[in-house]
Structure formats: C-alpha cells, structure tokens
Structure 1
Amino acid sequence: MKVILLQDVKNYGKKNQIVEVSDGYAKNYLIPNKLAIYATKSDVDHLNVKLKKESQEKESLIKEQEKLKEKIESLILNFSLKVKDNKPFGAVSLTQVCDRMAKEHQIVLDKRKFEQHENLNKIGLFYLKVKLDFKIQATLKVQIEGKE
C-alpha cells in the first residue's frame, strides 16, 4: 500500500515522501497515529503542488540571502579607538558592530552569526565572517582608526 508520510518514520522515510508499506502496518499503525495518509491521486497531486511551492519559497529566500551577502560585503564599518603613546585603548565588540549595522544600514545581525571573532583592539582593517542562512557566508570589513 502506498502512503504519504506526514512525519519522519524510522526505516521508512521522511516527511512528505510517498512510500510503499505493508497494508497492516499502514492501517494499524501509521494512519491511526497520524503518521501517514493514504496516497490517493488527489493527495499526491496536492503534495506535488505543496512541494513545488515550498521549493519556490526556498529559492526566493536563498536569493534574499545572496542579496544580503552582497550588501554586507560592500560595506565598511568605521570605528575609532583612543590612542596614547601609539597604543590603542579599548576594543570594538560584536555587539557594537551589530548595533552599528542596525542603525546605519538597517541590517539586523545576531552576534552569534559571526565566526571566530577575535578582539578588535588594534588599529587597522579587519575581516569578519558572518554565517547567513542556507550555508551562505559573507565577509564584513571593519576599519578601526586611532584618535588622540
């Protein structure tokens, strides 16, 4: 008997898959426990439409993340640290970077999305890797200048 799985079922398949199972297993376990439904023609058509719609939504989300990546990589955030005797005092934190991104560029990032962050307590240009959704990575440039 062919059924459409409504949830992942160990040793049989994942959600939204059409699988062949024994009649007794389908009637006595899968269907009563709402793990599957009968694979009628209308249900299969409905599933195909649903899967197509989900894939289109996923593609549009991926395109949005790619645009966000391009926008992030085109930016340079400028910060300044006090300098005394050629030594900078203080540091720039990820929270400050995220706040500046939100205020100036309307890009909301979570500080946990940054990969391997080192303390930004030196003068110079730093490259911070940001993990976006769908395994997309962007590189944000942070310029730190000294002021007396």
Structure 2
Amino acid sequence: MAKRVQLVLNQDISKLGRSGDLVEVAPGYARNYLIPQKLAIHASPGILKQVERRREKERQRQLELKEQALQQKATLEKIEALLIAKQAGENESIFGTVTTQDVAEAIQAATNLEVDRRGITIPDIGQLGTYEAEIKLHSEVTAQIKIQVIPS
C-alpha cells in the first residue's frame, strides 16, 4: 500500500476539505491533480504556521461579527413593536401581504440598522394585528421582534 501525502488546500474542494485544511491524500491524486491545478501545496512547518495564523485571524473576525450581531440584537429588542401600515379591507384583512422587505425597511426606519431581508422569517400575514418575526443576525444570534400591522 502506497504511503499517503499530507497537503494544505488552497481552495475549498467538495468531499475533501475547505481552504487551509490539512488533508492526507494518495500520492497520485496529489501529484497528478491537486498540485498541478494549484489546489493544494505540500505541508511544511512554515506553511502550517501560515495556515494557523490565517485561521486565528478568521476566528477573531468571526468573534467581532458575533459581537456586532449581539449589539444589533439588543437594539432590536428595545423596540416594542414595528409598525407597518397596510391598506385594509373589510374583516381586517389587508390587501397584499407583509413581506420581509417591508420588515427590513421598518427596521431601517426605526433603528437605522441595515438588516438583510433574507435573514428575516415572518409568518403569513394577511390581516391586521400583531405578529412575531425572527431575525437571524449571525449564525449563532437570533432576535425576536413584534410586528404590528395597522391600517393606512
């Protein structure tokens, strides 16, 4: 059985690893594909130190992003309820629906925070009333806010 070769990946490769990962592969795979395509380089002590420094910088960046998300969560939870005005018909039903874009714009107007609308989860809103929305600010930070739909 041939000896395996240790490499450090330069790019994400599906079913093998992410950029900066130390992987062991067959010598032929390394020699014929990964190294010529510049997808990986041989693992040496210097390269491993560079990879470790890069990982530490990325970890620090993620911590800063999480802190920022926690501050945004505190700001959002200070709001009693976001008011969204929609045209209403009879039986308190609204014309159209409340979208995540409407919620993002209401947050922008109320707190001056920019929130990505793709991170907002709202129930189907078809009538006037109060609803709960969930806003994902970070992979580990989620805020709950109340949305109050009022007639315009």
- Identify whether the pair has TM-score above 0.5, normalized to the shorter chain: yes
- In structure 2, what residue type is equivalent to 1:41? P
1:68 aligns with 2:72: yes
* Residue equivalent to 1:35: 39
Secondary structure at the aligned position of 1:132 is classed as: strand
Normalised TM-score (structure 2): 0.74
Give the drift of 1:83.
8.2
1:139 aligns with 2:131: no
* Residue equivalent to 2:114: 108
Q: Which runs of 5+ in 2 are unaligned?
A: none
* Residue equivalent to 2:128: 122
Tell me the number of residue pairs that the alignment of Structure 1 and Structure 2 aligns.
145
Give the drift of 1:36.
0.5
* Alpha-carbon spacing, 1:84–1:27, altered in 2? closer, same or farther (3 Å): closer
2:151 and 2:75 mapped to 1: Cα distance?
26
Q: Note if contact 1:5-1:35 (Cα within 8 Å) is conserved in structure 2.
A: yes
- In structure 1, what residue type is equivalent to 2:146? K
Give the drift of 1:118.
2.2
Normalised TM-score (structure 1): 0.76
Q: Note if contact 1:122-1:144 (Cα within 8 Å) is conserved in structure 2.
A: yes
Q: Note if contact 1:82-1:88 (Cα within 8 Å) is conserved in structure 2.
A: no
* Residue equivalent to 2:61: 57
Q: Which runs of 5+ in 1 are unaligned?
A: none
Q: Deviations over 1:48-95 (max 9, x none)?
A: 10011101101111121122122212212235678899x546467234
* Alpha-carbon spacing, 1:112–1:40, altered in 2? closer, same or farther (3 Å): closer
Computed over aligned residues only, the root mean square deviation of the Cα atoms, in angstroms, reads 3.0
Q: Deviations over 1:7-30 (max 9, x none)?
A: 244554332111233444322221
Identical-pair percentage: 24
